[in-house]
């Protein structure tokens, strides 16, 4: 029996158990359990042995940084962001990964979009910083739209690009200053998330000049941004894809699993249904 789980706090609305249960089923693995380790930051030191006894585990807020000191080594993905959301026990060693970046990139790739052209991203805090860095790592020329007062969130992306000699341009604008057309539009902000579903991170005049729209939000399934894009015949992808794909990468790390894209697309659709009905 192998033991896996999710460390975080709170975990009341997590989608992780049904996603991982389905992925284990697709692998044909039945001798496992997947348990929730709902420990606060204050509880973690006294509960950490319970977590580290697992064969592999996911990590969510607020422990993505806290868990690092308990690992033996970090994959480059975790080093890049000083953030771990997946740990595997391998040859007695605990290795930390960041599969959020893989989840984003695999979602884009599965949707048939490309990040190598002109990309507009709304928001650059938290997960937005990771998305922005992965985008410029793919060679995109990136325009970052941030609200007044949040200009400093762009600097870590510029610093990364300079430190790694990336051949890209990074432009910062405020939402009202966006102009031109873009190959990809990414919403990396919470604007449009349930329950404030009537909000949109940018104007329709901007959306209609984009070739593809990706929204990190997965509730609702179709944000106002995505609805507006689809009204203009623009293909979209929502955040549930990113959530599922990062879990797929965790299984690749834990068990060496492989899946076909059709099964993952079905899983994404089924998780939307489960979320809607819960």
Per residue in 124-171, pLDDT (tens digit) is 998 999 999 999 999 999 999 999 999 999 999 999 999 999 999 999
Question: Of the candidates 240, 239, 264, which has an alpha carbon nearest to the alpha carbon of residue 251?
Answer: 264
Q: 15 lies in a domain?
A: yes
Note whether 208 and 272 are same-domain residues: no
Q: What is the pTM of this model?
A: 0.94
Q: 125 lies in a domain?
A: yes
Q: In what order do the strands lie in the sheet with 56-59?
A: 32-38, 2-8, 56-59, 86-90, 93-97, 73-74
At 231, is the pLDDT very low, low, confident or very high (cuts 50, 70, 90)?
Answer: very high
Q: Which pLDDT value is given to residue 116?
A: 86
Q: 256 lies in a domain?
A: yes
Is the pLDDT assigned to residue 42 strictly greater than 80? yes
Residue range 94-130, pLDDT digits in tens = 999 999 999 999 999 999 999 889 999 999 998 999 9
Q: 135 lies in a domain?
A: yes
Q: Which pLDDT value is given to residue 18?
A: 97
Beta strands per DSSP E along 126-260: 141-145, 170-173, 184-187, 213-215, 236-237
Note whether 219 and 257 are same-domain residues: no
Q: Indicate the number of domains in the chain.
A: 2
Q: 104 lies in a domain?
A: no
Distances (CA, A) of 158 to 142, 164, 235: 10, 10, 29
Q: 107 lies in a domain?
A: no
Name the token pair of 110: 């599965």
Check if the beta carbon of residue 241 is closer than 8 Å to that of residue 111. Answer: yes
Active-site positions read 64
Number of residues that make up the chain: 278
Note whether 151 and 227 are same-domain residues: yes
Note whether 161 and 66 are same-domain residues: no
pLDDT over 90, % of the chain? 96
Note whether 214 and 265 are same-domain residues: no
CA distance 28 to 198: 42
CATH of the domain at 174: 3.40.50.720
Note whether 267 and 226 are same-domain residues: no
Note whether 176 and 215 are same-domain residues: yes
Note whether 133 and 76 are same-domain residues: no
Residue range 200-216, pLDDT digits in tens = 999 999 999 999 999 99
Spatial CB neighbours of 215, under 8 Å, sequence gap ≥ 6 = 186, 187, 192, 223, 225, 226, 236, 237, 238, 239
Check if the beta carbon of residue 254 is closer than 8 Å to that of residue 1. Answer: no
Residue range 25-39, pLDDT digits in tens = 999 999 999 999 999
Q: 262 lies in a domain?
A: yes
Angle between helices 100-110 and 127-137 (to 10 degrees): 60
Residue range 67-101, pLDDT digits in tens = 999 999 999 999 999 999 999 999 999 999 999 99
Note whether 164 and 185 are same-domain residues: yes
Q: 12 lies in which domain range?
A: 2-99+241-277
CATH of the domain at 47: 3.40.50.10860
Q: 167 lies in a domain?
A: yes
Q: Which pLDDT value is given to residue 277?
A: 83
Note whether 226 and 126 are same-domain residues: yes
Is the pLDDT assigned to residue 278 strictly greater than 80? no
Name the token pair of 72: 């033996």
């Amino acid at each position: 029996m192998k033991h896996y789980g999710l460390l975080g706090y709170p975990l009341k609305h997590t989608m992780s158990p049904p996603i991982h249960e389905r992925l284990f089923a697709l692998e044909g693995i039945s001798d496992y359990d997947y348990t929730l380790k709902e420990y606060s930051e204050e509880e973690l030191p006294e509960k950490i042995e319970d977590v580290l006894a697992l064969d592999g585990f996911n990590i969510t807020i607020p422990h993505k940084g806290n868990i690092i000191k308990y690992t033996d080594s970090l994959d480059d993905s975790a080093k890049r962001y000083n953030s771990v959301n997946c740990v595997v026990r391998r040859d007695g060693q605990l290795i930390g990964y960041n599969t959020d970046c893989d989840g984003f990139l695999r979602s884009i790739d599965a949707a048939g979009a490309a990040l190598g052209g002109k990309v507009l991203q709304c928001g650059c805090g938290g997960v937005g910083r990771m998305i922005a860095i992965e985008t410029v790592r793919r060679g995109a020329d990136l325009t970052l739209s941030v609200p007044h007062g949040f200009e400093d969130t762009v600097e870590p992306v510029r610093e990364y690009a300079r430190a790694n000699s990336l051949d890209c341009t990074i432009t910062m604008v405020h939402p009202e200053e966006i102009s031109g057309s873009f190959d990809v539009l990414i919403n990396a902000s919470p604007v449009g998330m349930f329950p404030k579903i009537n909000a949109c991170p940018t104007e329709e005049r901007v959306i209609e000049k984009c070739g593809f729209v990706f929204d990190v939000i997965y509730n609702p399934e179709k944000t106002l941004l995505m609805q507006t894009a689809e009204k203009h015949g623009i293909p979209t992808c929502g955040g549930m894809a990113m959530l599922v794909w990062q879990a797929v990468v965790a299984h690749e790390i834990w068990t060496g699993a492989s899946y076909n894209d059709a099964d993952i697309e079905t899983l994404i659709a089924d998780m939307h249904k489960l979320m809607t009905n819960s």
